[in-house]
Amino acid sequence: MTVAQVLFTQGFGARRLCAGLVAAGAVRIAGRVMDDPAEGVPTAGLVFEVDGVAWPFHQPAVVMLHKPAGYECSQKPRHHPGVMSLLPAPLRQRGLQPVGRLDEDTTGLLVLTDDGALIHRLTSPKHHVPKVYQVTAKHALDDTQLRRLAEGVVLDDDPAPVRAVAVARTGERTLALTLAEGRYHQVKRMIAAVGNRCEALHRSAFGALALPADLPPGAWRWVEQAI
């Protein structure tokens, strides 16, 4: 792949702009200024610099974001800032999309990628990818409520009961809830169906991926492992 093609695939702008960055001496690989846009470079393990900022080559791109409250997952946010504004311009330029959505007031792990096949695999109901949520309820949670969440509750849009894969009490008003499907406001509606109310919601894991303790709200990181 040429140096200009590398920049283009990694979201650094239109082809002409990428060629211009190379010609202007803004790109380095292994400390060497790459001034020929047509020079070929291997992409395996490639780390390049643009204006002094190092970028690892990823094709496709998969990142995790610690979503703060007050951000929308929509591509066209209406009432709050969008989560895409928390990512650097090259990731926005290359068309990353959130894998599923978290409500505006929900925090925690959000996966974003430009890999359509991965998005389908992680969101398709057929694959039952587990997601773990940390729930804070308004009232104390009793054993009956936890049992009903595990056995299944009926929501108002479907007569078939929905159930949690796992339910674990973590405090008087808190629990860890694992789901393998994703319906509209599902956690909040399940908590309401057992006679309580969800006061705060945080996603701590998605598939095999857990939110790192050292990733602060609003920060992002490349995902190198399988999800």
pLDDT on residue 158: 75
Low-confidence ranges of the chain (pLDDT < 50): none
pLDDT on residue 183: 81
Q: What is the pTM for the complete model shown? A: 0.92
Which tokens in the block code for residue 207?
């598939």
Question: Residue ranges of the alpha helices (H) in the chain?
Answer: 3-9, 15-23, 89-93, 116-123, 143-151, 186-193
**For the chain, which domains are there?**
3-56 (3.10.290.10), 62-124+209-222 (3.30.70.580), 131-206 (3.30.70.1560)
pLDDT on residue 50: 97
Half-sphere exposure of 80 (CA within 13 A, CB side): 14
Residues marked as catalytic: 103
Distance between CA 170 and CA 15 in Å, rounded?
A: 52
Q: Which CA distances in Å does 91 have to 12, 52, 103, 189, 208?
A: 9, 17, 22, 33, 23
Mind listing the pLDDT tens digit for each residue in 112-156?
999 999 999 999 888 889 999 999 999 999 999 999 999 999 988
pLDDT on residue 226: 80
pLDDT on residue 79: 83
